[in-house]
Structure 1
Amino acid sequence: MISGVGFFLLMIIGVPIAFVLGITALLYVYSTGNIAILQSMPSKMFNGLQNFGLVAIPMFILLGEIMNRGGITNRLIEFSKVIFGHLRGGLAYVNVVANMFLASIIGSANAQTAVMSQVVVPSMEKEGYKRDFSTALTAGSSIMGPLIPPSMPFIIYGVTAGVSIGSLFLAGILPGVLFAIGFGLYIYLIAKKENFPQSERVGWNKAVKSTLYVLPALSIPILIMAGITTGAFTATESAAIAAFFALIVGAFFYRELKWQHLPQILLRTIITTSTVTFLLATSNIFGWVLNFQRIPQLITDAFLFVADNAIVFLLLVNILLLVVGMFLEGVAALILLTPILLPAAASFGVDPVHLGVIIVINLTLGLLTPPVGTVLFIASAIAQVKIEHLVRRLVPFLAISFAILILITYVPWLTQWIPGMFNPQ
């Protein structure tokens, strides 16, 4: 009881989630008087981090930092402009496509929103788009970040659930494309009504030159997926190889990555990795407390009591995740809920890879909704758009996202087709 009250009080006053989990575990020990448990806590924290799959996290963070600093991100955005800029609402399409490209680099909705809000939103406003629409489109499209590989949430889920990270990467591709198609159709439907601008078509010479110039940048996500699908290397190994290749491209091909940039790149990688790793460590002892109290079993029994088939179960899971995602940071919610939902999902025959995609989509949508929607606040702050205006323009994108979420939930083929074609490690 004391630990439960402490958990919610710490959350309410804004204590970082990693400390909330650790302090709650200590409160449980204090309230039960079982001081002997303290001796096992350090080993529990350490043992939970002894997983080869976790090495992929710093590697993919390093990859994203190198590609951003090396000018690779900007090349991908410029390439999108050349291909789609001539259409009515061309820059809006560019926003969506560029988000797809960035998703294959960054793998984080928050980081992706920060980059696109700084680069694309000002360009769209300069061309005549309303700033609140441009910002809403940027924030909404960021949902593709954790879906199209590489993806930090998929890595964390894979390690927590004991599921192939390669399979999760492949499972997220088609859902990510569906979101891009959905947003693209919406742009097409409103382009004339809102009188979106239309740029001139670039000449063939410039298009060919731009394509050739962007090939080294495009080859990096292709290298990752080719290695995973062919079994040449694991998802973790692909991250290291891609980071090395991005270093070569940024330093020697585009010549924007300098040696003096490396200390800052490595420092940012270390800080981000340390934050995630500490959260994983404290979540291990918190999960241990939950298992000690049989919380996962009790929740599984509750699901089995309320739901009598997989359809109802998945509906309840979506509702639970959407609500939790509104109040709890995505990675923390992923770590907490995965061990709880997996046993119940297994009882209804839900594939763990399919469940992982559903969880990640739901928790990413939580980043777009108040009161704790970090993507919402990042986009609002950088683009200088009031939250209430941004939320209003986000409604159509959220409606499209919910529709696609339901489609993915009840059509497992959308997440299982591509992994079924390969046997990723």
Structure 2
Amino acid sequence: MAETARPWLTVIGIGDGGLTTLPDQARAALDAAKTVFGGERHLAMLGDTQARTIAWDKPFADSIAALKASAGTPTVVLATGDPMWFGVGATLTRHFSPEELLVIPAPSAFQLAAARLVWPLADCRCLTVHGRPVETVNRYLAPSVRLLIYSEDAASPQAIARLLTGRGFGPSRLVVLEHLGGDRERIRETTAAGFDLADIADLNTIAVECVAGRAATPRPLVAGLSDDAFVNDGKMTKRVLRALAVAALEPLPGQRLWDVGAGSGSISIEWLRSGAGMAAVAIEPVAERRALIAENAAALGVPELAIVAGEAPAAFAELAPPDAVFIGGGLTDGVFDAAWGALKPGGRMVAHAVTLESEAILIALHARLGGELMRIGVERAEKVGPYRGFKPAMPVVHWHVTRGDAP
């Protein structure tokens, strides 16, 4: 049996207590290192060292080349807490093989915060706004939910308090935990609406126990949000058809959607809200609608939605291949053929049509590729003089097919 290569890159998590809290394995890796990478705060802890020290570039991606240049020589990366939980370790796994890496974690701020508050960690939503928009938090706002949030800096607690208050969760309990595990540890509590904390350390974690006020409108994570959850100009897949479309797209963790002719972005937003690590691209040629998509994505907690300007199929050229495609607007043979060609094996295609011309395209595609073809008619009760009656909406033809179903 071949001997397994020893890792050359050691990622060391450091608590607020500094290097004195490191285990022997981490100390030995630091002593043997030829090069040490880290933030300025961590590198300052080293004092006099024989190793070459390199501070992270901004943007961080520029540091990857320097790390790769150290391959094969003992190298250490210094990080905060658990490097694999929203930390640099998770980023490095995208550039280095597991055989190259050794990770030595310290207790994470999530663990320490949960311990201080006596909150079962498994019952908490653990989030980060470090390097990410605070609007990410919107996705998880619901009564009685407990959130633990890594901060960007000293301004993060107040930014989150404002967000909570603006979403109707002003009565929520908000706890700021600073320098957890160190000599300067401090824990202070307030409410989102009554936020009055000052002199907050940059190194802090935020805990939120969500309480919905009268103005709150909690949004479920299942597909089929109320139509009033989205600002739109009328170009939107409505609730019933949207729930059907998202179910047929079969979102799975880590997969990517192309939402072609996105309109208000309702399909791609519901896709992102459905699971962890999802990706979506909303393709929309109209600038005003792209602004609506961005507004909806932030309000519903998925600001990571990629919004692409341009007409299909030309807009597909630079995009990573999708696991699923929804065509809700501008269906033509050229759009479908390009999207179908890009779709990964086993990927799902869903298309809607309301005009006779686009219906004819779906009927022909169903005959050629199979799948399931349906005409959906929805009738809603509305006022008819002093009485009520069912008023039919324009019928929609729905077609979905899996890439592997193609002959």
Q: Which TM-score bucket, shorter chain as reference?
A: under 0.3
- Name the structure where helix makes up a greater proportion of residues: 1
Q: Give the alignment's TM-score, normalised by structure 2.
A: 0.24
- Name the structure where strand makes up a greater proportion of residues: 2
Report which structure shows greater RCO (CA 8 Å, sep ≥6).
1
Q: Give the alignment's TM-score, normalised by structure 1.
A: 0.23
